[in-house]
Amino acid sequence: MGRVAKISLLLCCEALFCGVVAAAFWYQDLRYSLPTPAPVDLKQPSLGKTPALVGSLATLLERDDGSPCLLHFFNPACPCSQFNVDHLQQLVARFGERVRFVAVLEGEDAEASLAAFSKLDLGVAAAPDVNGQIAASLGVYSTPQAIVLDRDGRLVFRGNYNASRYCVDRETEFARLAIECCLTGATPPQWPAAATVAQGCELPANVGKASREVVP
């Protein structure tokens, strides 16, 4: 094979490799920017109501100290949960003294999920949810998702942290806005579809079950 042919072959291989990488990146980006399929039996407590807490979460929140609470639904195997970590750290740093933060860990292995979350060193209590019971009771079917409860335990917000996958759009920091409403006593806004139509990773407990597409 001549030198020109070798160079041409090398360039073709490089172009093919770059194309494969670009296609994979595009697929992942598209996949997680679309609404997450919802379980057919999905039931979501209404905003303004006090949802019933179940499992280990109920035990963690037995003590009522009069503070708003943010429940962070996290799956260590979910790329979107990893992208969300920096934003969560910012929220904890900003509101941690006035708001209770509890991570609800979705995963098939409670010990592994706890170990992965503890490595983030957020100083946040965690409640394993291996069978998805806690998530189902609150109408959550994706990660990462936020539930914000006011001082009286009423549901103020359930949905995405941000319209941006990397939580970089300050105008759509929905969880932050919900927390600020709780702290100031302001009436929560009418949340847009970008806030309430879940995006991210399907819960492990829901994989393989019948689901339906959610249209914004």
HSE-CB for 172 with a 13 A CA cutoff: 17
Examine the domain organization and report whether 17 and 74 are in the same domain. no
Residue 177 contacts residue 200 (beta carbons within 8 Å) = no
Residue 135 contacts residue 141 (beta carbons within 8 Å) = yes
pLDDT confidence band for 210 (50 / 70 / 90): confident
Examine the domain organization and report whether 22 and 56 are in the same domain. no
Examine the domain organization and report whether 57 and 143 are in the same domain. yes
- Sequence letter at residue 115: A
Domain holding 63: CATH number? Answer: 3.40.30.10
Examine the domain organization and report whether 4 and 102 are in the same domain. no
Examine the domain organization and report whether 96 and 22 are in the same domain. no
Residue 99 contacts residue 69 (beta carbons within 8 Å) = yes
Q: Provide the greatest CA pair distance for the chain.
A: 78
pTM: 0.84
Q: What is the mean pLDDT of residues 33-54?
A: 93
Examine the domain organization and report whether 59 and 95 are in the same domain. yes
Examine the domain organization and report whether 17 and 117 are in the same domain. no
- Sequence letter at residue 79: P
pLDDT confidence band for 18 (50 / 70 / 90): very low
Examine the domain organization and report whether 101 and 144 are in the same domain. yes
With 80 as the cut, is the pLDDT of residue 136 above it? yes
Number of domains comprising the chain: 2
Examine the domain organization and report whether 21 and 107 are in the same domain. no
- Sequence letter at residue 216: P
Examine the domain organization and report whether 23 and 112 are in the same domain. no
Q: What is the C-alpha to C-alpha distance for residues 95 and 37, in angstroms, rounded to an integer?
A: 32
Examine the domain organization and report whether 23 and 67 are in the same domain. no
Residue 88 contacts residue 122 (beta carbons within 8 Å) = yes
Examine the domain organization and report whether 11 and 49 are in the same domain. no
- Sequence letter at residue 36: T
| Radius of gyration for the chain, computed over Cα atoms and rounded to the nearest angstrom | 20
Residue 143 contacts residue 200 (beta carbons within 8 Å) = yes
Domain carrying residue 17: 1-33
